Amino acid sequence: MIEFKQIGTIYTPFKSREGMPIQSNGAKGVKGKIVINKEFSPGLKDLTDFSHIIVIFYFHKSIGFDLQTVPFLDTEKRGVFATRAPKRPNAIGLSVVKLLGINKNVIDIENVDMLNETPLLDIKPYIPDFDIHKVKKSGWIENKTKALDKIKSDTRFK
C-alpha cells in the first residue's frame, strides 16, 4: 500500500475539463494559486529563488484508466505510458509553472493547466541544468505541438 498526503490545493480558473489547456506550455498567462497546508509552509523557504516550479498533483476528477487511449494531439490509440492522458493507473499529473510570488502559505503561479481545487502532492524547483535534455526522438508527438496554445481539453477523458 502506498499512501500520499495532500500538502495543499491548486486553485485555477478551470471549473471543468472541457476547454482547458492540455499542457502548461499552452496556458501562457493563465494565473492560479497554490495554498499550502500551514504545517508544510516552512518547506517553502528558498523557493522564491526559482522562476519556475514543478507541481505534482492528483487528477482528482479522473475515474478509472485505459491502457490505450487517443491523446489530445492525435487520432490514433496510443499506450497510456506514451501519453500524458489523465486517465492512468495512478492518477498523478505534473506541470511546470511560472512562480510569481509567495506570501506566507500562498504561492501565486502562472501557466496553469489543471482543474480548480486540484490536490497538490509535491513541489520541486525547476532546474534547467537538470530538467532540460536534448532528445533525438519524440515518438508519435513529433511535429504535433506547434499550436499547443490553441488545443484545448475536450470530453474524451471523462
What are the chain's domains? 8-150 (2.40.30.70)
Query: Minimum mean pLDDT among 17-21, 31-35, 102-106, 128-132: which range?
Result: 17-21
Tens digit of each residue's pLDDT (9 = 90 or more) over 36-47: 999 999 999 999
Query: Minimum mean pLDDT among 55-59, 87-91, 123-127: which range?
Result: 87-91
Enter the pTM of the model: 0.85
Q: How far apart are CA 48 and CA 77, in angstroms?
A: 41
Tens digit of each residue's pLDDT (9 = 90 or more) over 90-125: 999 999 999 999 999 999 999 999 999 999 999 999
The C-alpha angle with vertex 42 and arms to 37 and 44, in degrees rounded to 5, equals 85
Contact 111, 100 (CB under 8 A): no
Greater pLDDT, 66 or 45: 45
Cell of 87: 486517465
